[in-house]
Amino acid sequence: MTRLACATVWLLASGLASAQSADPPYSLAELEARAEASHPALAAAAADLARTRAESEQAGAWMNPTIGYTAEEVRPGGVIRGGEHGFFMEQVIPLGRKLHLQRRALVEQGHVADAALTAARARVRARVQSAFAGVLAADERLEARTRLATLLDEGVGIAQQLYNVGIADRPDLLEAEAEAARATLAVTRARLARQAAWADLAAAIGDPSLPVRPLGGSLQALPVLADRDRLHGEIVASHPDLVTARARVAQAEAALGRAKREASPDLVVRGGLLYNRELFEREPSGEARAVGWEGSAEVGVTVPLWNRNKSGVTAATAGVDLARAGVRVVEQSLESRFALAWTAREDALAAVEAYRQAILPRAEEAYRLYLARYKEMAAAYPQVLVARRGLLDATTDYIDALEQAWRQTVQLQTLLGED
């Protein structure tokens, strides 16, 4: 990589930063708010909640009455004269608090949907936080690749000078130039990776057209967590998956109560008016008079003779057992996931500290010492390349450890998988 090429890369990176700095940087809170407003998963969960709430309101309404035409003794004749004609209205009145229990079951289903919306919000926030860390890490990698390419350019210039005065061999110069070409490619790949990380962040927010701007944050500034016991207690008390599982138990118990009352009788009330055209008596004038309007009333109950809903009660009881077992499954899963996530975060933090305190300073010092000795012809150029690759690997591993620590912290805060 020549000085001109390195300068070009540096200017391109600086130009990109200058172009982006015209707009204020995105904060993590701002991106989370954008996701709350535009993510389709949240819109779907909110629509499901609205649907279940509307269904619970509808479940408390009585059944519509039946209104119709009725006729009796319909036959011709001088006395009957076509019979009795009129209308009736029939109403089924549910007994056994069926409507109340049905509404309660749907209200509990609404609680499940509400918990699902809360879980969706937490999952989207965790997804945004992880993608935010991914962009920060991509920025760090691009900066490190550019900085190391600049350092390598110094070695190319030294090799060129030594070769010009006949101290260095041409293979040293060729190897330096080949390594510079690799560095140029690494910068290009880092820039493409940064674009991919930004696209992932935009997808996490639910806005693929999100304008590219700098992020207000540092990969080194990891989210702060409470101590282990306190964090564990908070998760067990309010984790969305556990809240959802407990809401499903209440929903299943309400469904069981409704199933047990399914076979209880319902009251059936029926009444109507009929006009009786049959001749009843004669007027003083001798003219016959029709009977006229007559009322009718019926009251009955449905009899659970053939269907006592035994299988429905059995199925609802199994549903309660399934929901209660689901709570225990979620509790055990949370315990396991918490232990694994805590261990993974501690491992990542240990790696970050080791690279920050010991590995990176020594790798950078080794590279500079070998480079200085090469200038003095006290070391071969392959040693410089080995030290340079070691510094690059250490820097990359350090950034990877930081990103992993960030992601594990986010995972530990929510213990939610990503959709």
- In a structure prediction context, what are the per-residue pLDDT tens digits for the chain, which is 419 residues long? 443 334 333 434 444 444 444 678 888 889 989 898 888 888 888 898 888 888 877 777 788 899 999 888 877 776 677 778 899 999 988 887 888 888 888 888 888 888 888 888 888 888 898 899 899 999 988 988 888 777 667 666 766 766 666 666 677 677 777 777 777 888 889 899 999 999 999 999 988 888 888 888 888 887 777 788 888 888 777 788 888 888 889 889 988 988 888 888 888 999 999 888 877 766 666 667 777 788 889 899 888 888 888 898 999 999 999 999 999 998 898 888 888 888 988 898 899 999 999 998 999 898 888 878 877 767 676 777 788 778 888 888 999 898 888 888 888 877 754 43
The DSSP bridge partners found for residue 274 are 86, 294
Q: How much is the pLDDT for 315?
A: 93
State the burial class of residue 63 (Cβ atoms within 10 Å of its Cβ: 0-12, 13-18, 19+).
exposed
Q: How much is the pLDDT for 101?
A: 81
Q: How much is the pLDDT for 196?
A: 93
- Report how far apart the first and last C-alpha atoms of the chain are (Å, whole number): 43
3-state secondary structure of 311: helix
Q: How much is the pLDDT for 158?
A: 65
Q: Domain for residue 134, yes or no?
A: yes
The enclosing H or E element of 72 equals strand 66-72
Tracing tokens 């204020």 back to the chain, one arrives at 24
Of 35, 215, 135, nearest to 406 by C-alpha is: 135
In this structure, the dihedral spanned by the alpha carbons of residues 127, 131, 133 and 135, taken in order and rounded to 10 degrees, is -170
Q: How much is the pLDDT for 8?
A: 36
Contacts of 87 (CB under 8 A, 6+ apart): 67, 68, 69, 70, 272, 273
Distance in angstroms (rounded) separating the CA atoms of residues 114 and 240: 10
State the burial class of residue 194 (Cβ atoms within 10 Å of its Cβ: 0-12, 13-18, 19+).
buried
Q: How many CB atoms lie within 10 A of CB 308?
A: 12
The token duo for 339 is 């232990």
Q: Domain for residue 318, yes or no?
A: yes
Classify strands 66-72 and 267-282 as parallel, antiparallel or unpaired. unpaired
Of 300, 293, 253, nearest to 276 by C-alpha is: 293
Q: How much is the pLDDT for 319?
A: 93
Amino acid, res. 378: A
Q: How much is the pLDDT for 2?
A: 40
Q: How much is the pLDDT for 19?
A: 41
Sign of CA dihedral 154, 156, 157, 162: positive
Phi and psi angles of residue 311, each rounded to the nearest 5 degrees, phi first = -65, -35
- Could you tell me the CATH number of the domain that includes residue 222? 1.20.1600.10
Q: How much is the pLDDT for 321?
A: 95
Distance in angstroms (rounded) separating the CA atoms of residues 102 and 59: 6
Contact 342, 228 (CB under 8 A): yes
In this structure, the dihedral spanned by the alpha carbons of residues 330, 335, 337 and 339, taken in order and rounded to 10 degrees, is 180
3-state SS of 17-46? Answer: HHHHCCCCCECHHHHHHHHHHHCHHHHHHH
Contact 203, 35 (CB under 8 A): no
Residue burial 117-146, b: 16+ Cβ < 10 Å; e: rest: bbbbbbbbbbbbbbbbbbbbbbbbbbbbbb
Q: Domain for residue 81, yes or no?
A: no
Distance in angstroms (rounded) separating the CA atoms of residues 191 and 212: 13
Q: Domain for residue 85, yes or no?
A: no
Q: How much is the pLDDT for 417?
A: 47
Q: How much is the pLDDT for 62?
A: 81
Domain that holds residue 382: 3-12+25-61+94-266+302-414
Q: Domain for residue 156, yes or no?
A: yes
Q: Domain for residue 140, yes or no?
A: yes
In this structure, the dihedral spanned by the alpha carbons of residues 391, 395, 400 and 403, taken in order and rounded to 10 degrees, is 170
Contact 197, 138 (CB under 8 A): yes
Q: How much is the pLDDT for 167?
A: 62
The DSSP bridge partners found for residue 289 are 281
Q: Domain for residue 343, yes or no?
A: yes
Distance in angstroms (rounded) separating the CA atoms of residues 89 and 176: 98
Q: Domain for residue 184, yes or no?
A: yes
Q: How much is the pLDDT for 285?
A: 63
| Overall domain count for the chain | 1
